Amino acid sequence: MTPNKFVTRVRNGQPVYLYPDPMGCKCVYFGSQQNWNTYRQLLAAGQIPEASQMTAPESQLDWDFGLWDLPSQGGPL
């Protein structure tokens, strides 16, 4: 599954909605058709951000990479 993207699967003849979140909870959220409908209603009403807006790549700039950070210019890789 692609991280931070909704996926639909069928289980026992009913749709199940999955949302893998490896950075936040390190889990997969799942819900029923009713959960999906509620999510879409809240999204349309502007009460929650779109899933794509909940994951900000620029937040990585605030991450402390410590020893994993790239070396300064001229340093070995």
pTM tops 0.85: no
| β-bridge pairing 14-21 and 7-11 | antiparallel
Please report the pLDDT score of residue 9 as a whole number.
93
Residue 49 or 3, more confident:
3
52: CB partners within 8 A, 6+ apart:
4
Separation between Cα atoms, residue 35 and residue 30, nearest integer Å: 9
Which tens digit of pLDDT belongs to each residue from 23-76? 888 899 989 999 999 989 998 988 887 766 554 444 444 544 454 444 454 544
Please report the pLDDT score of residue 52 as a whole number.
60
Which tens digit of pLDDT belongs to each residue from 6-38? 999 999 899 999 999 888 888 999 899 999 999
